[in-house]
Amino acid sequence: MKKTLRIAIDGPAAAGKSTVAKKLAEQLSIVYVDTGAMYRALTLKALQHHIALHDRAAVFSLLEKTSIQLIQDDEEQQVYMDSENVTPFIRTDEVSNNVSEIAQHASVREEMVKRQQEIAKNKNVVMDGRDIGTHVLPDAEVKIFLLASVEERAERRFLENKQKGYTVDIDILKKEIKERDEKDMNRKTSPLVQAEDAHVVDTTSLTIDEVVTKILSYVNKQ
């Protein structure tokens, strides 16, 4: 392993990024950073404060006054917003369906990228998101772009929701995922695109362990 190992994992919603990144970080004994959780925390706060999500200036002003910390415990990464643990509240459908609106603002993304780069500074990390390999860690040692069919991603989200005790019609989930993809790929600032030097891994027919093993094969070539 090199002195510094930074693994950037990008891909669309529900492609398995967080699950894979957590397991990968655990196996390599390095830090896991869920950048999407930072945007989700800001989205949660904007919704709580009834901020117009399309108002770039208002959202950026809110971010400037907001502390977001990612703290790893024995179970999972905990997300703290202004010293409050908001981990259970950032994965709701309301947050999921509005986070792209927040993430499209250029000033918000620029500030988030600065914070994310600071987290990764001089550390071995696995960082997942939608613009890690292209903007946050463009010189990452390993770049991965995860793919999965809309149907597969909707099924995964359906099962996640069921485990949390609530259900959403799978056709609605498919529609929401397609809309999220559309927003992420067509936003003006840091759109969801595959980095030229990224390894593409289609997770549709693979188990989590198979995906991790595949990524480890790329890591071991470093």
Instruction: Compute how many other C-beta atoms are within 10 angstroms of the C-beta atom of residue 47.
Output: 16
Q: How confident is the model at residue 1 (pLDDT cuts 50, 70, 90)?
A: very low
Residue 142 tokens, joined: 């390993």
| Residue 80 CB contacts under 8 Å (≥ 6 apart), including other chains | 67, 68, 69, 70, 71, 86
DSSP-derived 3-state class of residue 212: helix
Q: Taking Cα atoms as reference points, which of 39, 20, 9 lies closest to residue 104?
A: 39
pLDDT at 181 over 50: yes
Task: Over range 31-42, report the average pLDDT.
Answer: 94
pLDDT tens-digit profile of 83-93?
999 999 999 98
Q: Is pLDDT at 75 greater than 80 in this prediction?
A: no
Domain 6-216 is in which class?
alpha beta
Please report the pLDDT score of residue 2 as a whole number: 52
CA separation for the pair 54, 60 (Å, rounded): 11
**Cβ–Cβ under 8 Å, residues 112 and 38:** yes
Q: What are the extents of the domains in the chain?
A: 6-216
